[in-house]
Amino acid sequence: MKLSSSSVNAILGATAVSLVLGGAALAQSAVPRGQVMSLEEALRLEQQNRLRNQFPDERATPPAPQPRKRAAPAPKPEPQPKPKRQKPRRDDNITVRPAPAAPRRATDTPRKIEVPDRTIRDALPPNETSEGRANRAPSDAGARITAAEIDAATFTGAGLPKGLSPLTAKVQILLDRSNTSPGIIDGFKGGMSTSAIREFERLHNMKQDGILDQAVWDALGGNDAGSLMTTYQIVEADTQGLTPGLPRDYAKLAKLDAMGYERVSERLAERFHMGEEFLKRLNPGARFVAGEELTVVAPGKKAEGSVARIAIDKRSQRLKAYDSAGNIISDYPVTIGSTSTPSPSGSYDVTAVAVDPNYTYNPKNFKQGDNEKILILPPGPNGPVGSIWIDLSRPSYGIHGTPRPDLLFTTQSHGCVRMTNWDAEELAAMVHKGTFVEFIE
């Protein structure tokens, strides 16, 4: 039904009803005169008038809905640069590096790897046989030393004496037991013992001068050490598998099955971390045959653990092995390269370990005698790299043993890192593929 404007106004006026919309009364003038519209249209018109009163500066219509803004897309992450190899931080020759991933034993790789021939050139001095060097004492030829003298030795305040002495032998044994290797135990004061004392001082926050003093003696437990010597009875197996009279010529060596120990005394000296001559001094008249009882050094237990980092200090000629927490596990003397054939700089990783490695001679690299063909030299402790080769990610470089433990600290290598066979074997049992190796200048 349609109503005229006058009818609507009459109805509204007769009923005196005020329709309140938003607080404003519906005025009788809300509907224009003469216009016919429905009640719904009249109410809509009134609502428009109300909105005009509420929004006087705008159109009397509800504001148009604003379009929803599309959320800005999340910024794309900037490409991160490929992480660089973290450079270790040096702090008093100690480097800090995160622990590597779960270790895999390096010896999981093939045992026979090609060992570079750079190492053999200075393995044995020219025209010297191993028999000749075994019978050559460093000094004090014919001097004797006894186990009782070593056990009774005490510090007198004068440091290590020159030449052969029970005190030096005792200090060397105590250092070996503390996992600060003096290298070869021979009773003679020398560079390896001095470097071991200096490293022991550093680890115990002492003045680092490499001189035996009361503080070092007490820290080593010198007065409370007890007996440092023991007895060992030679068994039949000790007398077997020897290769006496090893030739110098590579062609002749290549025909052998092994470059093993030449003498029982040589084998037992290395087993007990001793110089061969020192073993003979302790056992005058020994024939080194099965059933014979010998006086030998009682070295400490082998260092154990997982080596996460190796630091080779070129200045001190020491190799330090650390666990993943940065704690030192063991410390060893080493021989490094010369100025003309230096050891590498920077950092690398262990890639493999070869136990009893063989050795490849290539005349293209250097000439030995009249040998012009590639030769494979057999494995053994008297081979050019001794009983162990720890391969590094730097091609042709490694950490290895030596047939000449007495020459550590007195010669230079052709770039590789030499250790005594027993120290190299101990280290090899603790490293894994990926162990970090750093050379410190």
Decide: 321 and 430 in contact? Cβ < 8 Å. Answer: yes
- For residue 91, what pLDDT is reported? 31
pLDDT band at 441 (very low <50, low <70, confident <90, very high): confident
Residue environment code for 223-241, b if the CB has 16+ CB neighbours within 10 A, otherwise e: eebeebbeebebeeebeee
Tens-place pLDDT, residues 269-320? 999 999 999 999 999 999 999 999 999 999 889 999 999 999 999 888 999 9
Instruction: Please tell me the predicted confidence (pLDDT) of residue 384.
Output: 85
Claim: this prediction has a pTM higher than 0.85? no
Tokens representing 286?
């020994």
Pairing of β 417-418 and β 398-400: parallel
Q: How much is the average pLDDT of 322-333?
A: 96
pLDDT in tens, 150-188: 999 999 898 899 999 999 999 999 999 999 999 999 999
219 contacts: CB under 8 Å, gap ≥ 6: 200, 204, 206
Q: Where are the alpha helices (DSSP H) in 153-228?
A: 166-177, 191-203, 214-220
Antiparallel, parallel or unpaired: β 375-377 and 359-361: antiparallel
Q: What is the DSSP string of 76-126?
A: PPPPPPPPPPPPPEEETTEEE----SS-EEGGGS-S-----GGGTTTTS-T
What local confidence, expressed as pLDDT, does residue 188 receive?
95
DSSP 427: H
pLDDT, residue 72, reads: 54
Stretch 242-249: mean pLDDT, rounded? 93
Q: Which residues of 281-296 are buried (b: 16+ CB within 10 A; e: fewer)?
A: bbbeebebeeeeebbb
Angstrom distances, CA of residue 1 to CA of 30, 41, 236, 331: 19, 12, 130, 110
220 to 105, 270, 344: CA distances (angstroms): 33, 23, 34
Contact in structure between 275 and 402 (CB atoms under 8 Å): no
Q: How confident is the model at residue 77 (pLDDT cuts 50, 70, 90)?
A: low
What pLDDT score does 117 carry? 46
What's at 70, amino acid-wise?
R
Task: Give the number of C-alpha atoms closer than 13 A to the C-alpha of residue 290, restricted to the C-beta side.
Answer: 6
The helix or strand, by DSSP H or E, that contains position 388, with its residue range, turns out to be: strand 388-392
Do the beta carbons of residue 250 and residue 368 sit within 8 Å? yes
Greater model confidence, 385 or 5: 385
DSSP assignment, residue 30? Answer: G
Phi, psi for residue 169 in degrees, rounded to 5: -60, -40
Query: Alpha-carbon distance 328 to 309, whole Å?
Result: 9
Q: What is the mean pLDDT of residues 45-64?
A: 47
Distance of alpha carbon 65 from alpha carbon 437, whole angstroms: 69
Q: Residue 380 pLDDT > 80, yes or no?
A: yes
Residue 79 backbone dihedrals phi, psi, to 5 degrees: -60, 130
Give CA–CA dist 270/186, Å, rounded.
Answer: 11
> Is the pLDDT confidence value at 115 over 90?
no
Specify whether the CB–CB gap between 157 and 214 falls below 8 A. Answer: yes
